[in-house]
Amino acid sequence: MSLMIGRALPLIYLAAAASFILALKWLSAVPTARRGVVVGAGGMLLAVGATLLEPTIATYRWIAVAFAVGTAIGIPMAMMPMTAVPQRTALSHAFGALAAALVGTAEYYLRAPAIGRFAMGALALEVLLGSLTVTASLMAFGKLQELLPTRPVVWRGQNVLNLSIFGLAAAAGVVLVLHPEAAWLFPPFIGLALLFGVLLILPIGGADMPTVISLLNAYAGLSAAAMGFVLDNKLLIIAGSLDGSSGLILSIIMCKAMNRSFANVLFGGFGQIQAQAAGAETRVARSAAPEDAAEILRSASRVVVVPGYGMAVAQAQHKVRELYDILTKAGVTVTFAIHPVAGRMPGHMNVLLAEANIPYDKLVEMDDANAEFPQADVALVLGANDVTNPAARSDKGSPIYGMPILDVDKSRTVLVVKRSMSPGFAGIDNPLYYLDNTLMIFGDAKAVVGEIVKALAAEGTH
């Protein structure tokens, strides 16, 4: 029996690996994303089931305990609202990285000093990346949940300190590779990695969370790949490599979308509120009521909705769907312009709008959306701030200069729904709010859109 299982395991692992690759391919397109999720989950079920059939397992008692604990944590996480997907993703990275770090630690104490240099090198990389990802992900969760300050926390010499701590951790890892018997060095090695993870996230503001989350995804994946080399598990190597490479590619896409480098994201302290220069002209934004917005939308032929974090935090996506329905029934063409870094994680707006059953073909990426704005009668901005800031095009002194933005200001009328005039995550004022074709509608996005829908329904759209 054990011989048959031993022969079947490589085939099961191969099927699981193929499932992961296909899932990643299908997840890259909205119409096939659901299929990708199902196939990926099926592949993971195959992988876990095959692992439980390993003849080397002596007892299932502690495995059962781990399953129970994991289920008790996983089910409440799965029930978190869609608006909390960024926080949930950060926690998932933390748990995955913790598993890799704990497995690496256990393997070290079981096999040192007899462990070979290659295996020890993979183990050191696994523990280093896993440990720093644990604390970095927990810090990201704290910022996303607003348990910690969302603004960058910076001080003089911070980058030197951070890089010194990482350098010490890396040096300790090298020493352990050369001298695996130096067990006294292993706890400080882990401690330095954990500390670096905390300090890595402190100077990063909320505007950079999409990049940070995808980068932490890459770290967790690379840690899992290294664990595969330590355990001689080819499926772990494949899955970890897929996770790590996709996270890195996504991080590059995010940086390109913000016209920023990795170094600037990780060490730039981006997002500090900029003080207004002395003697600067005081500008006044024109405000309007939801009823005024309804009147403008009633006479429009083409409307482009720009969702942002304000829509997410207000959980306004279902009211937005109501607005979409009432406008389209009246013959208004409505599309949704999606900026790659809108919200707090890659694809945040897509997920929320999909939850509200907005048709996939109405979600338009930035480049295509920018071609639509000059023909749009109304651009309805729901809590999107920095990604609509015209200063990115014209103000060379702005911290977001050169960042690709949604050209909402080129629409005939811009309606901005926002709680207040406070700056976005970049910490700078938005000139859009003072343009002649812009009207500010202050309030919670869900309440404001609800009032607009009520006004439209009461009088008819045309």
208, 243, 386, 429: the catalytic one is 386
Per the CB < 8 A criterion, the answer to whether 348 and 411 are in contact is no
Q: Is residue 200 assigned to a domain? A: yes
Can the peptide bond before residue 113 be classed as cis, meaning omega within 30 degrees of 0? yes
What is the residue range of 33's domain? 1-58
Query: Which candidate, 86, 208, 194, 211, places its Cα nearest to that of 142?
Result: 86
Q: Is residue 1 assigned to a domain? A: yes
**443 and 297 both lie in a single domain:** yes
Q: Order of strands, edge to edge, in the sheet holding 438-442? A: 363-365, 333-338, 302-307, 378-382, 413-418, 438-442
In the residue annotation, 436 being an active-site residue is answered as: no
**131 and 232 both lie in a single domain:** yes
For residue 3, what pLDDT band results from cuts at 50, 70 and 90? low
Instruction: Please state the separation of Cα 415 from the chain's center in Å.
Output: 27
Q: Which of 58, 81, 104 is the last residue of a domain?
A: 58
**154 and 11 both lie in a single domain:** no
**Residue 399 has what pLDDT?**
72
**Residue 27 has what pLDDT?**
87
**295 and 397 both lie in a single domain:** yes
Calculate the alpha carbon distances from 453 to 195, 259, 328 in Å.
50, 37, 12
- State how many domains the chain has: 3
Q: Is residue 428 assigned to a domain? A: yes
Beta bridge partners of 382: 307, 417
Q: What is the pLDDT of residues 315-324, one digit of tens each?
A: 899 999 999 9
**303 and 398 both lie in a single domain:** yes
**433 and 376 both lie in a single domain:** yes
Q: What is the pLDDT of residues 331-355, one digit of tens each?
A: 999 999 999 888 777 788 888 898 8
**79 and 44 both lie in a single domain:** no
**Residue 309 has what pLDDT?**
84
**Residue 460 has what pLDDT?**
60
Q: Taking the model in full, what pTM does it have? A: 0.81
Helix, strand and coil percent figures for the chain, each rounded to 5: 65, 5, 30
